[in-house]
């Protein structure tokens, strides 16, 4: 929007430009400041006339409140190669945000024109998913005050000192010095330009760069000390019995593969517990034939080699059958073994002192690494969720808006709508016929169980049951949300979390934690309780400065 500056009478200060651009909704504009070149200013304490609409005029004297999103600048991204070969040798280098991995982001719009201040009144955060930088006021900013960010501690120019400049610093001249130096704005961003690739949607996004934070389900202790290791069974008689075998030594004294079958032929009927060390075929085949290659033991190695001795893990039966009397060494005996795989090298070293254990840093139910494409899919789902939330309030389409008295009552009770969204899954869209949305309808239906999450489970169940030929779904025998991701404005309550768990949901993302009622980490964390037969991943969406949080964290959902 183009405006012409008619008067400077209100400030009485020298203003160089007779025209300026109002570049964004907060009416920021550019001016030239001595020693700095151009800079961004808040609203002008003057009278403007809109040139494209001769009759309109307005007085812009408002203070920008703290935490206002001042500007959202799209960024252009250049690869490290492009930056090294070209960008850093050009003027653009004065205006770029350099990421730690060497890539270069050029902010469009006002983004490239904020000057530096030691005490900035504007902070910025780089949103890698949407390829943009969001600038937010850190405090109330007076009209005509310059808007500055903090570039970092290694400046490439002599800064004009002091707090952000006021109009008194305005200069008559365009300062060409401002174009000099090497701009390398780094280190003060909330999250800086992220290391995830913008070029390739299949690239893995690092956990720090995800737009949400995974909730860690603390199922197991940290296992930093021997006492932390959970063993198969605490009582000596109920531990497992590895078969101790003899070793075979070669002539030079080194041990060789010790569990040698005496014959190449496998016994057709292996006994469940061999009375001797002599196996009739290679040990893994023998275990399989004996029905002892159980999944429950997959976190343990089956053979322990100790110098000249190797031991075969047979079973973890709490009550092993009586074994034939053999020589002491050759008889199976019992040992405590770790109950879970090792999650860290420290825990692996500790567990190996009991029995060789498998290192498995990711638990079965834990989220897989996310690609950029998946991050975008989830961000789109959250955008839709937020739009649905806004619709529920503003378009009076939801619980709040249905009737004005209800709205007032709910607002007085500080209750707001709770919205849930189950999108078409990524990357396999065939698992759901369409996206689903549901609202909390407890009030309108006078039904205390009509929570948004329960409503969406029911919708999906009905939809699946209506699909032709899906008999399991019709009979309610199918798990309802298998493989699906659920996005919800507020952390689901304990009841809804249990229902989601029973529905075998894959993952749940919420915007607002509910410390008093939440079942996903607020009041308690249902999926991390011992004994539950399903676990799902939980992500807490990071706050979006662009969307001033209208959700009330104190409501009872
Ligand atoms: C990203 S640009 C900011 C916009 C710039 N003033 C312009 O006119 O295009 C960065 C450059 O602005 C100038 N600059 C920014 N903050 C400054 C400050 N506090 N004092 C002096 N110069 C500053 C430096 O020349 C720096 O290289």
- Candidate from 94, 121, 163, 174 with most ligand 1 atoms within 8 A of CB, to mutate: 94
Domain boundary among 301, 331, 362: 362
Closest approach atom of ligand 1 to CA 185: 1
Q: State the pLDDT confidence band at 71, using cuts at 50, 70 and 90.
A: confident
Examine the pLDDT at 542 and tell me if it is beyond 70: yes
Q: Average pLDDT of the chain?
A: 68
- Candidate from 23, 29, 33, 37 with most ligand 1 atoms within 8 A of CB, to mutate: 37
Share of the chain above pLDDT 90, in %: 14
Examine the pLDDT at 232 and tell me if it is beyond 70: no
Contacts of 198 (CB under 8 A, 6+ apart): 77, 103, 128, 131, 372
Does 22 map to a domain? yes
- Check residue 91 and give its pLDDT: 81
Does 213 map to a domain? no
Is there a single domain that holds both residue 339 and residue 382?
A: no
Burial 199-234 (b: 16+ CB within 10 A, else e): eeeebbbeeebbbbebbebebbeebeeeeebeebee
Q: Which of 197-201, 346-350, 352-356, 421-425 has the lowest mean pLDDT?
A: 197-201
Best-predicted range by mean pLDDT among 196-205, 409-418, 422-431? Answer: 422-431
Which residue has better confidence, 177 or 347?
A: 347
- Check residue 440 and give its pLDDT: 84
Is there a single domain that holds both residue 291 and residue 254?
A: yes
Does 547 map to a domain? no
> In angstroms, what is the span from residue 118 Cα to ligand 1's centroid?
13
Which residue has better confidence, 169 or 161?
A: 161
Is there a single domain that holds both residue 160 and residue 193?
A: yes
> In angstroms, what is the span from residue 78 Cα to ligand 1's centroid?
22
Examine the pLDDT at 520 and tell me if it is beyond 90: yes
Examine the pLDDT at 195 and tell me if it is beyond 50: no
ipTM value: 0.99
Establish whether residue 113 lines the binding site of ligand 1, counting it when its CB lies within 6 angstroms of any ligand atom. yes
Mean of pLDDT values over 274-288: 59
Per the DSSP assignment, residues forming a β-bridge with 48 are 5, 58
Instruction: List the domain range (segments joined by +) for residue 231.
Output: 223-362
Domain boundary among 302, 333, 362: 362
Is there a single domain that holds both residue 285 and residue 396?
A: no
Examine the pLDDT at 159 and tell me if it is beyond 70: yes
Among 355, 332, 337, smallest CA distance to 245 is for 332
Examine the pLDDT at 151 and tell me if it is beyond 50: yes
- Check residue 308 and give its pLDDT: 57
Phi-psi region of 180 (alpha: psi -120 to 50; beta: other; left: phi over 0): beta
The two tokens of residue 227 are: 């006492």
| Coil, helix or strand at residue 279 | coil
> In angstroms, what is the span from residue 114 Cα to ligand 1's centroid?
7
Which residue has better confidence, 283 or 419?
A: 419
> In angstroms, what is the span from residue 155 Cα to ligand 1's centroid?
10
Closest approach atom of ligand 1 to CA 113: 4
Is there a single domain that holds both residue 86 and residue 67?
A: yes
**Could you tell me if 333 and 242 are in contact, meaning their C-beta atoms sit under 8 angstroms apart?**
yes
Establish whether residue 37 lines the binding site of ligand 1, counting it when its CB lies within 6 angstroms of any ligand atom. yes
**Could you tell me if 122 and 64 are in contact, meaning their C-beta atoms sit under 8 angstroms apart?**
no
> In angstroms, what is the span from residue 493 Cα to ligand 1's centroid?
50
Mean of pLDDT values over 432-448: 85
Best-predicted range by mean pLDDT among 139-148, 174-183, 246-255? Answer: 139-148
- Check residue 343 and give its pLDDT: 78
Does 549 map to a domain? no
Examine the pLDDT at 503 and tell me if it is beyond 90: yes
> In angstroms, what is the span from residue 197 Cα to ligand 1's centroid?
28
Give the pTM: 0.47
> In angstroms, what is the span from residue 241 Cα to ligand 1's centroid?
73
Is there a single domain that holds both residue 181 and residue 259?
A: no
Domain boundary among 303, 327, 362: 362
- Candidate from 157, 176, 188 with most ligand 1 atoms within 8 A of CB, to mutate: 157
Examine the pLDDT at 131 and tell me if it is beyond 90: no
- Check residue 500 and give its pLDDT: 96
Establish whether residue 181 lines the binding site of ligand 1, counting it when its CB lies within 6 angstroms of any ligand atom. yes
Count Cβ atoms below 10 Å from residue 61 Cβ, excluding itself. 14
Mean of pLDDT values over 19-23: 49
Which residue has better confidence, 238 or 457?
A: 457
Indicate which CATH number applies to the domain containing 478.
Answer: 3.40.140.10
How many domains are contained in the chain? 3
- Check residue 222 and give its pLDDT: 60
CA distance linking residue 435 with residue 401, whole number of Å: 23
Examine the pLDDT at 549 and tell me if it is beyond 80: no
Which residue has better confidence, 100 or 181?
A: 100
Q: State the pLDDT confidence band at 400, using cuts at 50, 70 and 90.
A: very low
Establish whether residue 116 lines the binding site of ligand 1, counting it when its CB lies within 6 angstroms of any ligand atom. yes
- Check residue 521 and give its pLDDT: 92
> In angstroms, what is the span from residue 186 Cα to ligand 1's centroid?
14
- Candidate from 111, 174, 178, 185 with most ligand 1 atoms within 8 A of CB, to mutate: 178
> In angstroms, what is the span from residue 176 Cα to ligand 1's centroid?
10
Name the closest-CA residue to atom 3, ligand 1.
113
Name the closest-CA residue to atom 23, ligand 1.
36
Examine the pLDDT at 209 and tell me if it is beyond 60: yes
């Amino acid at each position: 929007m183009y405006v012409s500056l008619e008067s400077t009478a209100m400030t009485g200060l020298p203003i160089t430009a007779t025209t300026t651009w109002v570049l964004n909704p907060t009416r920021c504009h550019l001016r030239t400041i001595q020693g700095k070149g151009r800079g961004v200013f808040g609203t002008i304490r003057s009278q403007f006339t809109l040139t494209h609409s001769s009759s309109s005029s307005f007085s812009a004297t408002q203070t920008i409140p703290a935490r206002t999103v001042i500007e959202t600048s799209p960024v252009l991204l250049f690869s490290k190669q492009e930056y090294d070969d070209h960008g850093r040798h050009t003027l653009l280098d004065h205006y770029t945000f350099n990421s730690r991995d060497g890539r270069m982001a050029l902010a469009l719009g006002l983004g490239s024109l904020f000057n530096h201040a030691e005490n900035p009144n504007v902070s910025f955060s780089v949103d890698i998913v949407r390829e943009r930088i969001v600038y937010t006021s850190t405090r109330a900013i007076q009209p005509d005050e310059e808007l500055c960010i903090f570039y970092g501690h290694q400046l490439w120019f002599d800064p004009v000192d002091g707090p952000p400049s006021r109009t008194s610093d305005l200069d008559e001249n365009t300062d060409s010095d401002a174009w000099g130096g090497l701009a390398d704005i780094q280190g003060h961003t909330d999250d800086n330009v992220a290391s995830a690739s913008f070029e390739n949607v299949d690239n893995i996004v690092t956990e720090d760069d995800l737009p949400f934070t995974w909730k860690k389900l603390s199922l197991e202790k940290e296992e930093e000390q021997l006492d932390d290791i959970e063993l198969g069974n605490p009582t000596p008689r109920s531990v497992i019995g590895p078969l101790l075998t003899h070793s075979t030594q070669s002539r030079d004294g080194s041990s060789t593969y010790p569990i040698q079958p005496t014959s190449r032929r496998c016994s057709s009927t292996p006994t469940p517990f061999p009375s001797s060390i002599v196996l009739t075929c290679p040990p893994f085949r023998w275990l399989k034939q004996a029905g002892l290659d159980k999944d429950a033991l997959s976190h343990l190695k089956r053979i322990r080699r100790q110098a000249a001795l190797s031991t075969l893990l047979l079973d973890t039966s709490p009550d092993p059958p009586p074994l034939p009397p053999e020589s002491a060494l050759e008889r199976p005996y019992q040992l405590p073994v770790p109950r879970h795989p090792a999650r860290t090298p420290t825990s692996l070293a500790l567990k190996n002192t009991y029995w060789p254990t498998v290192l498995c840093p990711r638990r079965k139910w834990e989220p897989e690494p996310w690609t950029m494409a998946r991050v975008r899919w989830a961000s789109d789902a959250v955008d839709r969720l937020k739009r649905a939330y806004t619709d529920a309030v503003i378009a009076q389409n939801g619980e709040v808006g249905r009737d004005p008295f209800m709205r007032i009552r709910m607002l007085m009770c500080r209750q707001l709508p709770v919205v849930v969204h189950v999108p078409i899954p990524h990357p396999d869209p065939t698992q759901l016929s369409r996206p689903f949305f549901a609202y909390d309808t407890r009030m309108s239906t006078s039904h205390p169980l009509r929570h948004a999450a329960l409503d969406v489970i029911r919708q999906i169940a009905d939809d699946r049951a209506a699909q032709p030929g899906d008999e399991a779904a019709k009979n309610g025998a199918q798990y309802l949300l298998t493989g699906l991701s659920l996005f919800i404005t507020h952390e689901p309550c304990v009841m809804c979390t249990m229902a989601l768990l029973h529905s075998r949901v894959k993952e749940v993302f919420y915007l607002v934690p509910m410390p008093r009622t939440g079942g996903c980490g607020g009041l308690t964390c249902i999926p991390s309780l011992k004994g539950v037969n399903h676990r799902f991943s939980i992500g807490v969406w990071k706050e979006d400065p662009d969307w001033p949080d209208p959700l009330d964290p104190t409501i009872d959902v």
